[in-house]
Structure 1
């Protein structure tokens, strides 16, 4: 894979490639998390359709960026105006190349532009260490809507408090 990565806003025309990226990343890259369990995998993939992806890209309350290398989508992340990092996926063969970090940088910049002081997400266990390395605090386990036990992670963007050993930051916002 080329080391040249372009981060840009997603456009509706990216939906089919983005859907393929999401499905492949979940099926292959998250195998240790879903362990091939059909019920969990089917639920996780259930809303990953081109029609849904177009809707996510078009929603004015979402900020979606993609990572592209040599004309191929290799990563995608979606931030909501509620401060939720709803999607953050990288193709398995593009892991550990700086794609995830670049995507996180882009959405964290947008969150600051929206005056969001704290981001949160549900992460499969296999990806939690990535987020922790980038300053996200692991607040423990929660069941995701698709039945997989995930880690609840959050990060203060304004540095307002020391979150050590806290389930939720009780700083005033």
Structure 2
């Protein structure tokens, strides 16, 4: 694939597509984690409403970015000024093409600009290898939340990118 993946800060005009990307990535891409259990899916997708996303965009403590490939939105990610990645979701047909990596690189650069020296996140089993390949390491024992296994990870941001 020769077309570069572009990342930029999301805007209010992106709210609808952000909601669809998150919902679809969870339902299709994370099926290994939720096993299509309705209760688990309901909890995991409850924050995909347009109102939630508008709130995120209005919060100056959050950075929500979007990845574009040939001007088509293909992924979204979000971090907070405290150094935590809240999520990174990619349209399933764009998995393993560098979209998630581009989104995380952009979030990490923003976090460095915020003065953070370390980034933290909780991932699921289906995304653990992705984060490990980007230099994230387990930092605590995994735990269950809302029917999902959450794996705490972190990455040092003081090393060269």
Compute the TM-score of the two structures, normalised by the length of structure 1.
Answer: 0.86
CA distance in 2, matches of 1:53, 1:76: 11
The whole-number CA distance in structure 2 between the counterparts of 1:127 and 1:3 is 24
How many angstroms does 1:135 deviate by?
0.7
The normalised TM-score by structure 2 is: 0.92
Alignment partner, residue 158 of structure 1: 158
Count of residue correspondences = 158
**1:117-141 Cα shifts (integer Å, max 9, x gaps):** 1111111110011001111011331
Within 5 Å, give how 1:22-171 maps onto structure 2.
Answer: 22-139=22-139, 140-144=141-145, 146-159=146-159
Q: Aligned equivalents of 1:117 and 1:155: distance in 2?
A: 9
Distance in 2 (alpha carbons) for counterparts of 1:3 and 1:83: 30
The higher radius of gyration belongs to: 1
Alignment partner of 1:96: what SS?
A: coil
- The question of whether the paired residues in 2 share the 8 Å contact of 1:2 and 1:70 is answered with no
Q: Is the 8 A contact 2:124 2:150 kept in 1?
A: yes
SS at match of 1:55: helix
Any gaps of 5 or more consecutive residues in structure 2? none
Counterpart CA distance in 2 for 1:71 and 1:51 is 25
* Alpha-carbon RMSD: 1.5
The runs of 5 or more residues in structure 1 that have no matched partner are 160-173
